[in-house]
Structure 1
Amino acid sequence: MNSAGTITGCLTAALACAFLSAPVAEANPVAAQQLPVSVPSIKQWQPGGDGEFALRDGARIVAGGALREPAALLAEDLTRAGRPVSVTSDAAAAGDIVLEENAAAPAPSESYRITSGDRLTITAHDTAGILHGTQTVLQWLRQRTTLPAGTADDWPDYSERGLMLDTGREFLPVDWVEARIRDAAYLRMNLVQLHLSDVQGFRLESRTHPEITSPQHYSAADLREILDYARSYGVEIIPEIDMPGHMNAILAQHPDLVLRPERTTPLDAVQADLVGGSNGGKIDLTDPAAYRLISDILHEFLPQFPGRYWHIGCDEYVSDYSRYPQLADYAVRTYGPGAAPGDVIIGFANWAADIVESFGKTPRVWNDGFDHPGVLSPKPELVVGYWSASAGGLPWLPGGRTPADFAAAGHPLLNAAFTPTYFTTGGPSAALNAPPELLWAWDPGLFVDGQRLPEAERSLLRGSMLFLWCDDPNALSPEQIVAPVRERLPIMAQQLWSGTGGISYPDFRSRTGAVGWP
C-alpha cells in the first residue's frame, strides 16, 4: 500500500470508530410486511384496517390546476415502470391516485401525507410535499400494485439535501446532468449544485466575455433545459462560479490578471496537483480590472438562474500570505491600519455578496477562505459550506475557523465534511475517498473537525450534500461515474431525511436494490 493508501486506511478506521460511536438520528422505518420499502424511509405509518389499495388496469391520477404537471410526471414514470396510468381532473374513483394541495395537510415544509384505501391520496400544503409524495408512491408501486390501508406522514430532518456536480473540470453532458437530477429527486432530495468553472473549463455561454467560454459548454438553450427539468421535479439548482481562486479557465484569456507570488516554494507544485491546477487560477484582487471582470460575469449570469442561491466560491485562494506581500499592502490601503492580508478575500466575498443580493439571491461560500481574519467579518447572510478545519493543510487538521465560530456569527451552515461527503474521480485526492460504509456510519451533525454545533445553534445547520469532484477529468468517464454516485447518494438521502437509526447497512443495501432507479 502506498503512503496515501496507508493514510487513508488509518484515517478511515479512526473516523469509522468516531462515527459509529456518535449519536444518530432516530428513524421509524416501516415494517417490511406492511408496506413496500422506500429510500429514504418514511417517518410514520399508521395501519388503517383490513382493506387495501389496488392499482387496477385503467387507473388514473386525479389532479387539477398546478398539480397537473406533477401528475403527468408520475404517470410517465409509472407507465415506464410497467404500471400504465392516465391523468384526469374528473372525480376520483376506486383504484385512482389523487393529488391534493390542502392547507390542513401536515405543516412542515416539504412534508406530505399518503392515505391508502380504495384510492391512494397524496396531500400536502405545498407542491414540494406533493412531489416528494409522488416519489414515495412511485417507489412503492414499482415494487407491487397493492398497498395496505393506512396513513403515512413524512417530512425531512434537514432542509437542504443535495448533490454537487463538478462539471467545471469534467464536462458532464446535459442528459447526464438531468439523469442525476432525476436520481436526486427520486430520493426526495431538493438541491443540485453545479460547479460550473474551474481549471479545465468555463461551462457557460458568455455574451459579455465570449473569450472565457470553453469549447465544451452549456448553451443558453441547454441551461434553460436543465433548469426547467430540475424545476419540474422540485430540485433547485445552485450555480457556482468559483472565485477568486480556481479561475484558470477564465484567466487563461486574461493572463494580466493572474495573482503571482513574489517568492515560490517547492510546495507550489504539490499544492497545484492537490487543487487540480496551477497557481495561475488565482485572480489578483489588488487590480481594479479583476473586479470589473468578475462584476461582468456575475451581472450576466445571475439573472439566468431562478433559484434562491448563488455560490461565490472563496476557497483555496492563499494559505501563505507572506508570499504575496502585495495583498497585505492592498489590505492596509483599502481597509485601514490593522488590516490583514486575509481581509482581502473577506472584502471580496462581501463585495460579491452585495451583487448577489442585489438580484434577490442569497450568497454561499466555502469556509476556508475566511481562516485569516483581520479587521473585517464576512456578512452573516453568507451560507457557509464547511469542508475543511485547516487553514491551508489537510482538511482534518485544526487551524481555521470552526463551525461553531461561523454559527456564533449567525452564518447558516452546510456540512460539507471532506470525509465522508466527497467522492473524487481521480488525482491525489481520490486516494482519500471514503467507502460508502463510512458515509453510513457518519451523521450530518458531525463536522470534519470532529465537532458539533452547540445545542443553541444547531438550527443553523441546514444539511449536507454528496460532492462529486472530477480533479482528473480523464480518470472516469461520465458513464463510469454513475455507479459510485448511485452507491452513495441513497445513503446521503437517508441520512438527511430520516436518519439511519434502526436500519442495518446490509438491510439498507437491500432496500436500495428493491426501489431501483427511475
Structure 2
Amino acid sequence: MTFGNVADEGAPLVVPALRQWIAQDGALVLDDGARVAVTAETADEVARYRSELVRLTGAGLAVRTGSAKPAPGDISVRVEPQLPAEGYLFRISDGVDIAGGDLAGVAYGLQTLIQLLRRSPELPKGHTLDYPTQRVRGAMLDLGRRYWSPDYLRELLDDLEWRRFNRLHLHLTDWNAVRVHVDSPEYRHVAAEQSYDLAELHEIVALGRAHHIDVIPEIDLPSHATAFVRANPALAFPADEHTMNSSEFGESPADEGWTVDITRASNRRWLNGFVRAVADGLDSPSVHIGGDEWQDGEILEASSTLLGHARHLDPGYHAVDGLLDYLEEVRRLLAADGRDTEIWSWWEGTSPRTTSPSRDMVILAWSQTEHEIDWFLHSGYRVISTPFESHYITPLGYPGYPHSDDHRARCADPRWLYEQWEPRRHPLLLGYQYCVWADMSGDVDDAYFEWYSVRTRQVLADRLWGGARQRSVDEFLDLVDEIGHSPLGDRRGATRVADRGSVVSFAEPLVLTDLRFRPSPPAGGWVTPYESNGVWSGGSLERLEQLRGARVEVCHTSDGQWQHALDLPLLPFGSWNAAALPEPAKVAAARLVGSDGTPLPASVVDVEWLVER
C-alpha cells in the first residue's frame, strides 16, 4: 500500500526526489567548450565536484570567477539568499543555472546535476525549486558501546551529504566506555583504550561542517555513566544505595555505578569540566547531555542521598527534580558559550516529579511511536523525533536479529518507511533521526552495522526531503543503485547489469563487481517489523533466513571449477540488497547458492549480476 504522491513520470529521476519539475521542450548536451561560472562564495563548492562533472561531460569545464551570470552552454553557480535554506533553484535551458539559498543548497544543486549526467548526457530542459520538508535530517551512531574507525566516520559523512542529511549525532559515552580522550591530568585516565582524542573528533566536526552536516557530540549523563564511575569512584552513590549504583537495563554490572551522584558539588564540577572540555574542543553548535534511563521514580525516592539533595534545593522537590536540576546546570554552562543543549526523552515518565526541563532544550523523543511525541510539542518543546519502533537499528550480535523476542532487537524496515510512513509536520518538530545502536553486539566490524543501516539511510533521505515517491521501494532502490555513491568517497567505476538469475554464464568473460538480490515475498506478503514489535517474524523471517548464509561462487573459464567468491552471512532486507565482491574479477559464470550448496530458486530470490561498464 502506498500513501502520498507518486512521482510524475515526466520529472527527472534523482535521489532524493525533486519536489517539483516544470518541464520545457528539448534537451541540453554540454559540449567541449562548456565552462563553470562561479562567484568567490561558491568556488570551493564547485571545486569539490568539478572532477566528477569533467568525467561525466568530457568537457574541460574551465572555471570563470565573477558574477556567475548564466551564459549559453555554461554551468553557472551562485548563492541567492532569498531562496529557502538548503534549497536551490535549478534551471536547464541553453545552459545550466544553479542558485542555492546557501552553500548547502549549492552543493545539493550540483549533486542533482551529477545524478542527471550519470543517467544520461542529455539534460532535460526545465526548472525546479527544490528544498527539504524537514529541517533536521539526522543519523546517530552508538560510539559508546563500540568503537567505529575514523575512516568509517569520514566515509559516512560523504554518504550523508550525498543523501542530504544535515546531522550526525555521536553517542560518545555509555556504561562500558568513554570514547573521547581529554588530555588533562584530571581526565587523562577516563577514556577507553579505543577512543578518539579531541583533535581527531574536531577534524570530524570540521569535515561535517564542510559537508553541511552538524556533528553533535553526546556525553550521556547522569545515567549510563558506569565508565565515568570506574574512572572516578567518587562519582558513585554510597555503597548501601545498591539500586542507584545498578541498572535495570541488563548490560552494566550491578553495583559498578549507573547514575552518578550529582548531589556533591565536587562531582558536578568534575563532570562539568569534562563536558566543557569536549564542547570547547569540538566546537559543535549543540551538545547532547543524555538524560535518559535513570531509575524509576520509586527507586529514586528511596535514595536518601538524592531525595535529601532535592529537598535542599526546594522543599517541594522530589528526587528526580534533583537530576533535572543538574541537567539545567549543564544547560546554563553550555548556553554561556552560545551552545544549545539536547536531551533524550525519559524524564516525562518519571513520577513523582515537580519540575520539567527548560524549553530551551531540544528533546530527542524516542517514544515507541510518533504520536507519543505530541505531549512534548503541546508542552512547547522543540523536538527531533526518533521513535524506537520504526527508526532504531539494533541488530545485536553477529549475525544479527536472532530468533528471539528480545526487546532490544530493532529493525527499521526500508519497505515500510518508504511505502507507508509519512513524516509529520509541526512548527516545533525540527525533524527526524535514525539511530544505530550497538547493544550486546560483541566483536563485529563497521561493515556489519553498515549492512543493517544503509538501506534505511537511503530511504529516509528521500522521505525526509519530501519529494514524490516511486511506486515501490524496489523501484526506488533500483534508482539509488543506478545513480551510485557520492563522487567524494566512491572510487569504483561505473557498472551495468549483465544478467539476471541465480545461475548465469557469459559468452565472453566479464569483470564481475557486484550483485543485487531481492528475496521473493513469502505467501501472504511481507509482514514488516513495524507490524511485529520491531523485529522480523513469521513467514517473513523464514524467507529472509533462507538467504542468510548464501554465498557467491564463480567460474573464471567456461570449463572451470566453481570457486568461492563472497559470503552473505547477514540477514537481508525484504527488497533489493547490494553486495560488492572483495575484488572485481573476470568470470565466465556466476551463481548464488544457499547454505546447502545448491543454487537458490527464483521462487526464493531475484538476482542481478553487475559488471564493469
Q: Which has the larger radius of gyration?
A: 2
Determine the C-alpha separation between the residues in 1 that align with 2:423 and 2:11: 29
Give the corresponding residue for 1:73.
48
Deviation at 1:112, TM superposition (A): 0.7
Query: What is the CA-CA distance between 1:95 and the residue it aligns to?
Result: 4.1
Of 63, 86, 89 in structure 1, the residue corresponding to residue 38 of structure 2 is 63
**Is the aligned partner of 1:491 residue 2:491?**
no
SS of residue in 2 equivalent to 1:62: strand
**Which aligned pairs between 1:74-473 and structure 2 lie closer than 5 A?**
74-78=49-53, 86=61, 88-90=63-65, 94-103=72-81, 107-208=83-184, 209-259=187-237, 262=240, 271-273=249-251, 280-319=257-296, 320-334=299-313, 336-372=314-350, 374-388=353-367, 395=368, 402-426=372-396, 428=406, 431-440=409-418, 441-445=420-424, 458-473=426-441
Q: Taking structure 2 as the reference length, what is the TM-score of the superposition?
A: 0.70
* Local SS of the residue matching 1:72: helix
CA contact (8 A) 2:334 2:341 kept: yes
Give the 3-state SS of the residue equivalent to 2:173 in structure 1: coil
Alignment gaps of 5+ in structure 1: 1-19, 389-394, 446-454
Query: For residues 263 and 255 of structure 1, do their structure 2 counterparts lie closer, same or farther at Cα, with a shift above 3 Å needed?
Result: closer
Q: Deviations over 1:103-147 (max 9, x none)?
A: 45xx32111111112321110231121122122222222222221
Q: Structure 1 stretch 129-138 or stretch 254-263: which is displaced more?
A: 254-263
2:151 and 2:35 mapped to 1: Cα distance?
29
The AA in structure 2 aligned to 1:471 is D
The separation in 2 between residues aligned to 1:469 and 1:277, in whole angstroms, is 22
Q: Is 302-311 or 147-156 further displaced after alignment?
A: 302-311
| Per-residue deviation, 1:499 | 5.6
Q: Distance in 2 between matches of 1:380 and 1:322?
A: 25
CA distance in 1, matches of 2:62, 2:393: 40
Which has the larger share of strand?
A: 2
In structure 1, C-alpha distance between the alignment counterparts of 2:473 and 2:283, rounded to whole Å: 38
| Count of residues in Structure 1 that have an aligned counterpart in Structure 2 | 468
Q: Structure 1 residues 433, 113: closer, same or farther in 2, change over 3 A?
A: same
Distance 1:58 1:479 in 2: 43
Pairwise CA distance, 1:191? 0.8
The residue type equivalent to 2:340 in the other structure is T
1-side partners of 2:91 and 2:390: how far apart? 37
Distance 1:479 1:278 in 2: 34
Q: Residue type of the partner of 2:182?
A: S
Using a 3 Å threshold, how does the CA distance of structure 1 residues 80 and 191 change in structure 2: closer, same or farther? farther
- Report the Cα distance in structure 1 between the residues aligned to 2:148 and 2:288, rounded to whole angstroms: 19
Measured in 1, the distance between the counterparts of 2:105 and 2:370 equals 40
Q: Secondary structure at the match of 2:132?
A: coil
- Contact map agreement 2:178 2:191 (CA 8 A) in 1: yes
Distance in 2 (alpha carbons) for counterparts of 1:256 and 1:56: 70
Q: 2:475 aligns with which of 490, 507, 510?
A: 507
Distance 1:469 1:64, change over 3 A: same
**How far is the alpha carbon of 1:199 from its aligned partner?**
2.7
In structure 2, C-alpha distance between the alignment counterparts of 1:297 and 1:315, rounded to whole Å: 19
Q: Which moved more, 1:353-362 or 1:318-327?
A: 318-327
Determine the C-alpha separation between the residues in 1 that align with 2:166 and 2:15: 14
Q: CA shift at 1:324, angstroms?
A: 2.8
CA distance in 2, matches of 1:425, 1:232: 31
Unpaired runs of at least 5, structure 2 = 398-405, 487-613
1:474 Cα deviation after fit: 2.5
Is the deviation greater in 340-349 or in 212-221? 212-221
Given that 2:365 and 2:386 are in contact with CA atoms closer than 8 Å, whether structure 1 keeps it comes out as yes
- For the residues of structure 2 that align with 1:53 and 1:150, how far apart are their CA atoms? 10
Q: SS of the residue aligned with 2:168?
A: strand
| Residues 335-394 of structure 1, C-alpha deviations (whole Å, 9 max, x = no match) | x22211111221111111101111101111101034326332210011101103xxxxxx
Per-residue deviation, residues 59-85 of structure 1 (Å, max 9, x unmatched): 443322121111011114445778676
Tell me how far 1:58 sits from its aligned partner. Answer: 6.0
Q: Aligned residue for 1:452?
A: none
Deviation of 1:277 (Å): 9.0
Give the distance between the partners of 2:229 and 2:54, measured in 1 at CA.
Answer: 49
Would the aligned equivalents of 2:247 and 2:254 in 1 still touch at CA under 8 Å?
A: no
Q: Give 1:472 deviation, angstroms.
A: 2.9
Q: Which residue of 2 aligns with 1:517?
A: 485
Query: Residues 260 and 324 of structure 1 are in contact (CA less than 8 Å); yes or no, is this contact kept in structure 2?
Result: no
Q: Is the 8 A contact 2:49 2:110 kept in 1?
A: yes
Task: Indicate how the Cα distance of structure 1 residues 191 and 168 shifts in structure 2: closer, same or farther if over 3 A, else same.
Answer: same
2:18 aligns with 42
Structure 2: how far apart are the matches of 1:432 and 1:128?
32
Secondary structure in 2 matching 1:44: coil
What is the SS of the residue equivalent to 1:321? Answer: helix
Inter-partner Cα distance in structure 2 for 1:516 and 1:244: 43
Is the 8 Å Cα contact of residues 6 and 468 (structure 2) preserved in structure 1? Answer: no
Cα deviations across residues 260-286 of structure 1 (Å, max 9, x unaligned)?
Answer: 685658xx676223x799762321122
The residue number in structure 2 matching 1:450 is none
Q: TM-score, normalised by structure 1?
A: 0.83
**CA distances 1:286-320 after superposition (whole Å, capped 9, x unpaired):** 22222111110122122233332111110112224
* Cα pair distance change 1:30/1:54, threshold 3 Å: farther
Q: C-alpha offsets along residues 243-262 of structure 1, whole Å, 9 cap, x if unaligned?
A: 11122222211122123685
Secondary structure at the aligned position of 2:174 is classed as: coil
In the alignment, is the contact (CA less than 8 A) between 1:346 and 1:376 conserved in 2?
yes
In 1, Cα distance between the equivalents of 2:370 and 2:25?
Answer: 56
**Residues 407 and 276 (structure 1), Cα distance of their counterparts in 2 relative to 1, 3 Å cut:** farther
AA in 1 matched with 2:273: D
Instruction: Tell me: CA distance 1:261–1:318, structure 2 relative to 1, closer, same or farther (3 Å).
Output: farther
Say which structure, 1 or 2, has more relative contact order (CA 8 Å, 6+ apart). Answer: 1
Paired with 1:227 and 1:510, the residues of 2 have a C-alpha distance of 32
Aligned Cα root-mean-square deviation (Å): 2.9
Distance in 1 between the 2:108 and 2:370 partners?
Answer: 39
Closer, same or farther in 2 for the Cα pair 1:170/1:429, shift >3 Å? Answer: farther
With 183-192 and 474-483 compared, the bigger mean Cα shift is at 474-483
Aligned partner letter, 2:310: A
1:479 aligned partner: 447
State whether residues 387 and 418 of structure 1, in contact with CA within 8 Å, keep that contact through their aligned partners in structure 2. yes
